[in-house]
Amino acid sequence: MIWLTWRQFRAQALTAVVALAGLAAYLVYLGMQIRNSYDNDVAGCTVGGNCEAVGKLFLNEYELPVFLASVLLIVIPALIGLFWGAPLITRELEAGTHRLVWNQSVSRTRWLIVKLGFVALITAVVVGVYSLLLTWAASPYDRVQGERFDAIGFMSRNITPVGYAVFAFLLAATVGLLIRRTMPAMAITLVAVAVVQMIVPFGIRPHLQEPVSTTVALTANTQFKAFRDEGDEVQILGYNIPGAWMLDNTHSLYDSDGKAYSEKSFESCFSVDMDKMKACVAKRDLHVEVSYQPADRYWRFQWIEAGGYLALTALLVAFCVTRIRRPLL
């Protein structure tokens, strides 16, 4: 059965190996370039050497290639679902070739488990190797950027992509088993994977663990990007805790009594000079309330999310096994 599955899937597997080899060569090249630039420019920067500007130049230089490589890794699971998962079972059901196997000594369950397990293993290896190489290549870039919880970065580094890819494959295979027609199964898979990609980063991941909430006093040294009027309230934009995942980009100002700082009260501090505005506001005994996920939770979130995908994958396998034992109308 394993040999039969290999013969049926070898064209896709060999295509994936060739594509992976090309991508691996590029990622090794990109990683060496990034490391060379980091060692020569960023790592040797001293306090008096305008390190912030050096870091921005470094990020600007490699932002596009790292972004494209990351997006590709996010897209690959969807492609695996479309072209490996959805047709895996529907193709056999449409052609009727499954009957040739079932009428011999191979049970339906074994037939299904071998096909799912074999392709899932190839999926995990291909995506795992790509993720490993991309994580290595982009590590100096990620270190300077300091935003490991970024939606694209988190989904394209370390172990999460592997769990996501295997889940996308099993989801597509399950849809194919239920629909039993290749093209509709591919269309439904595309929509389902897109929905998962939207819901998980923005609706589930922020709440994998209770966020840390704290009060931050606004002083002349508090780093943020700008002030903003929101109705009758004044907010600050871009306050950041290094390495942490800030769940909001804007934070309302409050006085010592906990009342929202009004736009009218802010007028006396308005100036075209940002530093003067900060110095003026700092004298008003104001604070902001922030919620964030600390940097030390990164690996915990990686394991939780990858484990969640694998748990859902196991449920899909169990469902498929149960379904295949019943008559296929």
Task: Tokens for 69, please give them.
Answer: 């490589």
pTM of the predicted protein model = 0.87
Element (H, E) at 63: helix 51-80
Burial class (CB in 10 A: 0-12, 13-18, 19+), 241: middle
Contact 92, 98 (CB under 8 A): yes
Q: Answer positive or negative: Cα dihedral of 281, 286, 291, 292.
A: positive
pLDDT tens for each residue of 26-50:
999 999 999 999 998 888 775 556 7
pLDDT of 329 above 70: no
Distance CA 78, CA 50 (A): 43
13 alpha-carbon distance from chain centroid: 25
pLDDT grade for 183, boundaries at 50, 70 and 90: very high
**pLDDT reported for residue 80:** 95
pLDDT grade for 242, boundaries at 50, 70 and 90: confident
Task: Tokens for 71, please give them.
Answer: 């997006």
pLDDT of 259 above 90: no
Task: Tokens for 73, please give them.
Answer: 């890794």
Token pair 């935003």: residue: 147
Distance CA 318, CA 113 (A): 10
Strand-pairing partners, residue 230, are 233
Question: In whole numbers, what is the pLDDT of the chain averaged over residues?
Answer: 87
pLDDT of 173 above 90: yes
